Structure 1
Amino acid sequence: MSTPTTPVPEAPFTIGAPEFAADPLSHYAWLREHAPLARTRLEYGPVSQPIWVLSRYRDCRAMLTDPRLPRSPVGGSAMTAGLPEHLRLLSTESLIMKDEPEHKRLRTLVSKPFTPKMTAKLGERVRELAVERLDALADHDVVDLRQDFALPIPYTVIADMVGVGETDRSRFRSGVTALLSDRGAEDWDTQVRDLVAFTRDLVARKHADPGDDILTGLIHAEEDGDRLSEDEIVSMVFTLVVAGYETTYNLITNAVVTLLDHPEQRDRLQQAPDDDALWRSAIEEIVRYAGPVGGTKPATAAEDIDWDGRTIPAGASVLPLLGSANRDPEAFDAPDRFDITRSPNHHLGFGYGPHFCLGANLARLEARIAVQVLLTRRPRLSLAVPRDELTLETMPLWTRYDELPVRLG
């Protein structure tokens, strides 16, 4: 006779619905207390799907290393064999959707070009771009910091990393913008197909004429005679765009909002512009407290799983709520307090385990340098609108501001 399990409760709200988006922290607190494993729905525009969610830190961390909860859907590539090329490269070919041992193979190869020398070069480029952007805005009193400062820096860094020349930047930007936009947009397929074609052409050009860039490094990366295929390289460019661009400009924006909300913490940073350890600690706390990503890609239960006396059925989509885990009082002292000196700070803002965010170090680097330059050169920076007029994009489990009007001072 099988041992009966406790029924899994259903949350009285939908992830991504307006009432959830208006106050996610209260909903996270309810889940942690009443239903740490819960059934609900994930809503994005017209799409709504059943989802199982974990909200406590220890559960989210455990899930992210549990082999019973793979990223690839049950059935694997057979389920997506008929997908168009651009959708295949974004799904089954993506590093984000791979499981072991294929994930480890790809990650090992992809890490080859990210040498300390290359990282130092990227840091210098970020500082140069931050200064350039502020110089370009010198005659402006009020600007949209998201659009005019936070967004151009990581976009240019990614274009540099991929080795996109000046004459191709407009086309690349159009494709990147489409890639990160709503897939329901009228020209989404056309734009992303064009980005695939452009990237394949760029790979061919880098084969013939190698450059000092990450794309050339990916082409020549080798481990025990193994190399990335062209499909894997193209898919990896897409992954770098998402991990190194989308996350980063939102992190920069969120950092500025958070520091303006906490002037005493901001003052402490401004008084220590050369305290590298303090700045690094501040960025980690910003990721924990106001990170842009509140959840990972859902995993799929490969079998019935006993989770603390409750059963997650085979085939269920399971989502760790990282934004909730990072506010769990069992894992963090006074989790609702923003403290740039918090230590230890083992947040899950970039995930955990084998799928720890590929672009985490780049995002940290860019956010730290960009905000450091901004606060050093514009110490009287302030909001240009009342705080309650700042609005968030309607993206479930993302904290992304529509715009950030500021007075540069």
Structure 2
Amino acid sequence: MTQTSIWQQILDYSHRPDPYPLYTELRKTPVVRVEDGSYVVSTYREIVALLHDPRLSSDLRNLPESAATASAHVPEEGPATLPPSFIQTDAPEHDRLRRLLTRNFGPPHCPGRIDGMMPHMAEIVTSEIDDFVGKDRSGTARIDIVDDFAYPFPVTVICQLLGVPREDEPRFQAMSDAVVRAADPTTGGIAERQRRRAKAVAVLGQYFAGLLDARHGQRGDDLLSGLLSGDGDEAPMSPGEVLSNAALLLVAGHETTVNLITNGMLTLLRHPEVLERLRRNDEPDLAARVVEELLRYEPPVQFLSNNRNSLDDIEIAGTTIPKGSPVTLALAAGSRDPDFVPDPDRFDPDREHNEHLGFGGGIHYCFGAPLARPETQIALTELAHRLKNPRLVTDPPPYRASPSLRGPRHLLVEIDGVNPRRP
């Protein structure tokens, strides 16, 4: 079995339910060149080193000419292309854009934005659970954790944060799906994927442009309005930058959280002793530790695929990654590296020093982590407390197509009713 064939098996849908034995094989060669000419890095220390290495660029304009041209080109009949979002840029451009986003997202400038949303998050979750079995809250019911819970919850939250009408969800979900499909490494070459992604993001940006036009200059206290106002020492984002970063936040703000919540509930149902501990609610920090371990054990983002490229020859783990090479960082493999994590294939929320790669690292550490963490903690705690005798209908469940944004497409669970809301 060659290392390249291992990578192809990881991408193959048949291995979506459990890719981790393949990651074990992949780690035997920490850096490997695969069929499309890119390099896959799979061991913890090497991934961390590259996440902090300025020679590894996130700017797609630094890709080889054919891929860079394709990523920037949108057909004439399509919407105009947008500038890169902040995760597709390097310092100092990245730092400027991230500062402007952070000014309107969290501390120190908006320290209460996320905390202020917590009561509303809890109300959304409890209302969704109330709807599982109707007003009598008793009797056997079958629910889909994805469609009935894990999807609508973060979508509602990100809509509130961005100032997007919740009733537009069918429209932007179709556009969001197109962005996710465009990044799927199983479909086409690197250049073709970048071209499709640029087009999909442009369409989503066009939606936001229409949304802003409909406001007729009226601003609210949402993140979009804050980006447009540009208060502070730095100039505001350009209109194009606002649109591309809003599109990114809308997609990333719910796609990954849906996977984290669903992977979390699946893992808890497979580990009923942890589910019972969470249900008892007598360990104040357990929910936080469960979420951190989930980010290591079943991360919603398995790898960062071909969105980084080498600006120079990079020598790492005995292999030279040539200048101009696309690089994939296999975060899920790194977080289960036995050379860094003891007993890595065991789900253990009591694990100490859990320095996982679930949110990436370096200057591109996940921008939405301060929101995803409380969302998932609230969701899993309420599910554990309120669902009576939850049990899986199918294990493994059917998975989504994407190998990088990995999570169940449906998670059917039978319950014997729901407990009353907690005081």
Shared fold per TM-score greater than 0.5: yes
Task: Please say if residues 71 and 297 of structure 1, whose CA atoms lie closer than 8 Å, have aligned partners that are also in contact.
Answer: no
The amino acid of 1:71's aligned partner reads: S
CA contact 1:163–1:214 (8 Å) conserved in 2: yes
Shift of residue 368, structure 1, vs aligned partner:
0.8
Match of residue 327, structure 2, among 318, 328, 332: 318
Partner residue, 1:285: 293
Q: What is the correspondence of 1:347-362 to structure 2 with a 5 Å cutoff? A: 347-362=356-371
Q: What is residue 156 of structure 1 aligned with on the other side?
A: 156
Pair 1:295–1:223, CA change in 2 (3 A): farther
Q: Which among 89, 92, 95 is matched to residue 98 of structure 1?
A: 89
Whether 1:213 aligns to 2:222 is yes
For 1:143, the aligned partner's letter is I
* Aligned partner of 2:398 among 391, 395, 405: 391
The CA distance in 2 between the partners of 1:271 and 1:37, in whole Å, is 44
TM-aligned CA deviation for residue 170 of structure 1? 4.6
Aligned to 2:374: 365
**Residues 98 and 134 (structure 1 numbering): CA distance in 2 closer, same or farther, change over 3 Å?**
same
Residue 214 of structure 1 aligns with an amino acid whose one-letter code is L
Determine the C-alpha separation between the residues in 1 that align with 2:62 and 2:43: 29
Counterpart of 1:50 in structure 2 is: 37
Tell me which residue corresponds to 1:3. none
Output the amino acid matched with 1:50: G
Letter of the structure 2 residue corresponding to residue 95 of structure 1 = F
Which of residues 24, 32, 40 is equivalent to 1:38? 32
Map of 2:193 onto structure 1: none
Report the TM-score when normalising by structure 1: 0.86
1:167 to partner: Cα distance: 5.5
* C-alpha distance in 2 between matches for 1:289 and 1:106: 31
In structure 2, relative to structure 1, the CA distance for the partners of 1:38 and 1:314 (3 Å cut) is same
Give the structure 1 partner of residue 190 of structure 2: none
Q: Is the 8 A contact 2:27 2:43 kept in 1?
A: yes
Which residue of 408, 412, 417 maps to 1:405?
412
2:349 counterpart residue number: 340
Match of 1:24 among 15, 19, 26: 19
2:52 & 2:374 partners in 1: Cα distance?
26
What secondary structure, in the 3-state scheme, does the structure 1 residue paired with 2:55 have?
coil
- Shift of residue 182 of structure 1? 5.5
Q: What are the residue-to-residue correspondences of 1:147-226 with 2, within 5 Å?
A: 147-165=147-165, 168-181=168-181, 195-205=204-214, 208-226=217-235
Measure how far apart 1:93 and its partner are: 1.4
Contact conserved, 1:109 with 1:222, CA < 8 A, in 2? Answer: no
Note the C-alpha offset of 1:88: 3.5
Residues 74 and 407 of structure 1, relative CA distance in 2, 3 Å threshold: same
Q: 1:408 deviation in Å?
A: 2.7
Distance in 1, Cα, partners of 2:27 & 2:368: 29
Q: What SS does the aligned partner of 1:300 have?
A: strand
User: Which residue identity does 1:282 align to in structure 2?
Assistant: V
Contact 1:251/1:367, CA 8 A, preserved across alignment: yes
Identity in percent? 34
Q: Structure 1's 222 and 237: CA in aligned 2 closer, same or farther, altered over 3 A?
A: same
How far is 1:136 from its partner? 1.8
1:86 CA displacement? 5.4
Which of residues 117, 126, 130 in structure 1 aligns to 2:121?
126
Partner of 2:137: none
Amino acid at match of 2:220: G
Structure 1 residue identity aligned to 2:287 = W
Tell me, in whole angstroms, the C-alpha distance in 1 between the residues paired with 2:119 and 2:285: 18
Range with bigger deviation, 174-183 or 359-368: 174-183
For 2:192, the equivalent position in structure 1 comes to none
1:393 CA displacement: 2.1
* Mapping of residues 193-272 of structure 1, within 5 Å: 195-205=204-214, 208-272=217-281
C-alpha distance 210-378 of structure 1, shift in aligned 2 (>3 A): same
Partner of 1:44: none
- In the TM superposition, what is the alpha-carbon distance from 1:287 to its structure 2 partner? 0.9
State the alpha-carbon separation in 2 of the partners of residues 137 and 276 from structure 1.
27
Aligned residue pairs: how many?
386
Unaligned runs of 5+ in 1: 1-8, 42-48
Secondary structure of the residue that 2:304 maps to in structure 1?
A: coil
| One-letter identity of the residue aligned with 1:88 | T
Unmatched runs of 5 consecutive residues or more in structure 2: 135-139, 188-195, 417-423
**Aligned-residue offset at 1:20:** 5.2
CA contact (8 A) 1:143 1:406 kept: yes
The alpha carbon displacement at 1:117 in A equals: 1.4
- The RMSD of aligned alpha carbons is 2.7
- Contact persistence 2:3–2:26 (CA under 8 A): no
- Correspondence for 1:331: 340
